[in-house]
Chain A
Amino acid sequence: MTEKYPELRANVIAILRGIAPEVEVDELRDDRPLRQQVDLDSMDWLNFLIGISERLKVSIPEADYGRLVTLGNLLDYLRAKLG
Chain B
Amino acid sequence: MFDFTLPSLGADMDEGKLIEWKVKPGDMVRKGQVVAIVDTSKAAVDVEIWQDGVVHELLIEPGERIPVGTVLATLLEPGEGAASKGVRAGAKEARHAAVAGAAVGERRPPSAAAVPAETARLRISPAARKRAEALGVAIVQLTGSGPGGAVTLADVEAAAQAGVRKAVEAAPAVRPEVDKNTEMRRAIAAAMSRSKREIPHYYLYETIPMARAQRWLAQANEGRPITERLLMAVLQLKAVAAALAQYPEMNGFFRDGRFESVQAAHIGVAISLRQGGLIAPALHDVGSKPLDQLMHELADLVKRTRAGSLRSSEMSDPTITVTNLGDQGVEAVMGVIYPPQVALVGFGRIMERPWVEDGTLVALPAVVASLAADHRVSDGHRGALFLAELRERLQRPEEL
Contact = CB atoms under 8 A, between A and B. Distances in A.
Contacts of A2: none
B130 A41 contact: no
Interface in B43-61: none
A20 B153 CA distance: 11
A37 interface: no
Contacts of A53: 226
Nearest to B131: A21
Given A20-B274, A21-B274, A46-B229, A41 B327 contact: yes
A63 interface: yes
Given A43-B299, A59-B226, A22 B327 contact: no
Interface in A32-55: 39-43, 46-47, 49-50, 53
A62 interface: yes
A22 to B, nearest CB: 6
Looking at chain A, what size class is its interface with the partner chain?
Answer: 10 to 19
Contact of B222 (A20, A41, A62): A62
A61 interface: yes
Contacts of A42: 231-233, 327
Given A21-B127, A21-B131, A21-B274, A43 B222 contact: no
Given A21-B130, A50-B226, A43 B274 contact: no
Nearest to B327: A41
Contacts, number: 45
Contacts of A21: 127, 130-131, 153, 274
Nearest to A36: B329
Nearest to A60: B226
B131 A62 contact: no
Nearest to A41: B327
A41 B222 CA distance: 21
A22 B130 CA distance: 9
Contact of B302 (A39, A43, A50, A59): A43
A20 B130 CA distance: 12
Contacts of A61: 222
B298 interface: yes
B297 to A, nearest CB: 12
Interface in B224-272: 225-227, 229, 231-233, 272
A70 to B, nearest CB: 17
A46 B218 CA distance: 14
B221 interface: yes
Most chain A Cβ neighbours within 10 Å, of B127, B225, B328:
B127
Most chain B Cβ neighbours within 10 Å, of A22, A43, A61:
A43
A20 B233 CA distance: 20
Contacts of B227: 50
Contacts of B275: 22
Contact of B298 (A20, A39, A43, A60): A43
A22 B127 CA distance: 8
Contacts of A40: 327
A43 B231 contact: yes
B219 to A, nearest CB: 10
Contacts of A41: 272, 327-328
A22 B274 contact: yes
B178 to A, nearest CB: 15
Contacts of A39: 274
Interface in B324-382: 327-328
16 contacts: A21-B131, A21-B153, A21-B274, A39-B274, A40-B327, A41-B327, A43-B231, A43-B298, A43-B302, A46-B226, A46-B229, A46-B231, A53-B226, A59-B226, A62-B218, A62-B229
3 nearest CB pairs, A to B: A41-B327, A21-B127, A62-B221
Interface of B: 127, 130-131, 153, 218, 221-222, 225-227, 229, 231-233, 272, 274-275, 298-299, 302, 327-328
